[in-house]
Chains A and B, each alone.
Chain A
């Protein structure tokens, strides 16, 4: 699986936007970029995914660079509940069933009241 690189930690003030970067310079043409987050003492939770175009949903926005070698997860207004570890994951299109993906170390986001 293609590797992703994220900062170990970031801080944000409550109610301000947060931009979480991810580098994936070895991404292949069929890899989708997924973001998950893990709140303290909980299982990972899907946030958003995309291929080439920017994506928006109720939780966040995903901005994908034109060359797809990097992406940014945008939380428009951070709340205390957004404090979590955020994982940027590339999900490859492989033969057969499963297409499981692999978590890296992620970015630990601290939200300051």
Chain B
């Protein structure tokens, strides 16, 4: 069964450092998403991406965040200068359609720890 894969599974970084989280969505999917989940809290929407551009972003997704689909297979989330509060599990998701009927497939997540 096709799946969304994410790397790294866990990254530890110092505050102020740049971090790139990588995702390989399911190959024929066109819609891509990043969500995050701070420990013990709910899953929060960050950004959605379609046709090589951001289609929507939340208030969390400020100028420190960026997304890219550099080579047609990877979908990356970059945090330019990490803060302690960026420590969370980051989930990538993809979908074959952007309609309200479509299901999203989530990866296993990348745990980011900012020290």
Contacts between the two chains (Cβ within 8 Å), count: 70
CA distance A100 to B35 in the complex (A): 10
Contact B101 A32 (CB under 8 A): yes
* Size band of the interface chain A makes with B: 20 to 34
Query: Does any Cβ of B come within 8 Å of A96's Cβ?
Result: yes
| Interface, chain A (partner B; CB < 8 A) | 30-32, 34, 36, 38, 42-46, 49, 87, 91-94, 96-106
Contact B44 A99 (CB under 8 A): no
Which single residue of chain B is at the shortest CB-CB distance from A51? B101
Which residues of chain A come closer than 8 Å to B55, judged between CB atoms?
96-98
Which single residue of chain B is at the shortest CB-CB distance from A87? B43
What are 15 residue pairs bridging A and B, where the CB atoms are less than 8 Å apart in the complex? A30-B100, A32-B100, A34-B103, A42-B109, A43-B93, A43-B106, A43-B109, A44-B104, A45-B106, A46-B103, A93-B99, A93-B100, A94-B100, A98-B33, A99-B99
| Interface, chain B (partner A; CB < 8 A) | 4, 31, 33, 35, 42-45, 48, 50-51, 55-56, 91, 93, 98-109
Contact A97 B48 (CB under 8 A): yes
Given contacts A42-B108, A91-B100, A99-B100, 10 further A-B contacts (CB under 8 A): A31-B100, A34-B103, A43-B106, A44-B43, A92-B100, A97-B50, A97-B98, A98-B56, A101-B45, A106-B42
Which residues of chain B come closer than 8 Å to A32, judged between CB atoms?
100-101
CA distance A43 to B43 in the complex (A): 9
Which single residue of chain B is at the shortest CB-CB distance from A97? B50
B4 CB to closest chain A CB (Å) equals 8
Our pick among B48, B51, B102, B106 for the contact of A44 (Cβ within 8 Å) is B106
Contact B105 A100 (CB under 8 A): no
